[in-house]
Chains A and B, each alone.
Chain A
């Protein structure tokens, strides 16, 4: 079975001032690597760092703290973005399938995970996860 294409995209700010959008430019689809791993290769080859990360669907933006965070928050030391899938497709219909985009701001001892529901982008959650 084919799972739905993600509608919520990541948008990244880089230390050289560039803004990279998922499925565009160096992170376009149809390359050897997925948009996220294409971005990682570009960052490594050009000795760059991510300075901000947010998830977007149309005009809806879901922001993580940047390296110059608003509201006097702590500065993340790294970022990550992933897609979480939960599916029953082995048995029965896919009515209970779940898809989430997750953006992570990584700190020294913990990370902040921002989940947005792909099936209902009015729903978002934040987790704090201790880094072992």
Chain B
């Protein structure tokens, strides 16, 4: 009896992130860097040998536009239809789908998600800003370090599978590959 956790980069077809894969934010083309202070023009799954695992799946991309520039001071992003308030995004348009499953009915609660430097969970990612939001959120969370984590809504009705949909966007603050950084999720199940 074990818990399974599956991360998927959504798209026309899903791309599952394996343990050794990287979630890669690029300028619009696989392996192409984003200009400092700009945001991702594409999102990919990069394998441990450097291959674009999502190349045939037309992966989703959610690009941060503004923190409070939308209606009712909502955050704005572009996920392929131009600039929109992020609470207008549909489930299938989100960047990531996280599934937590068990072989009998469980609840999943107290869920948080954040980026960190890959070493110390309280430390912000090095050289980049990470913005996360859950489906139906009105604003992005600048989820840099555990103290700034995105809070994800409890899934407190017992079920064998629980899905969570996440918008993710990143911007480099310095030149260079930032692959030491990690995204971490914490949750409780019972």
Contacts and interface: CB of A to CB of B under 8 A. Distances in A.
A131 to B, nearest CB: 14
B4 A1 contact: yes
Contact of B105 (A32, A85, A92): A32
Given A1-B5, A3-B2, A37-B106, A91 B182 contact: yes
Contacts of B21: 91
A3 B101 CA distance: 10
Interface in B2-32: 2-7, 17-23
Interface stretch (A45-53, A66-74, A76-84): A76-84
B104 A32 contact: yes
A99 to B, nearest CB: 9
Contacts of A86: 121, 184-186
A4 B105 contact: no
A36 interface: yes
A89 B18 CA distance: 8
A29 B4 contact: no
A31 interface: yes
Majority SS at the chain B contact face: strand
A30 B182 contact: no
A91 B189 contact: no
A85 B189 contact: yes
B82 to A, nearest CB: 28
Interface in B166-190: 181-190
A2 B3 contact: yes
B105 to A, nearest CB: 5
Contact of A37 (B186, B187, B190): B190
Contacts of A37: 104-107, 158, 190
A132 to B, nearest CB: 14
Given A2-B3, A3-B4, A91-B182, A33 B188 contact: no
Contacts of B6: 1
Contact of A92 (B5, B182, B186): B182
B190 A82 contact: yes
Given A23-B1, A29-B1, A36-B190, A89 B104 contact: no
A34 B2 CA distance: 11
The 5 tightest CB contacts between A and B, nearest first, are A86-B186, A29-B1, A82-B190, A3-B3, A36-B190
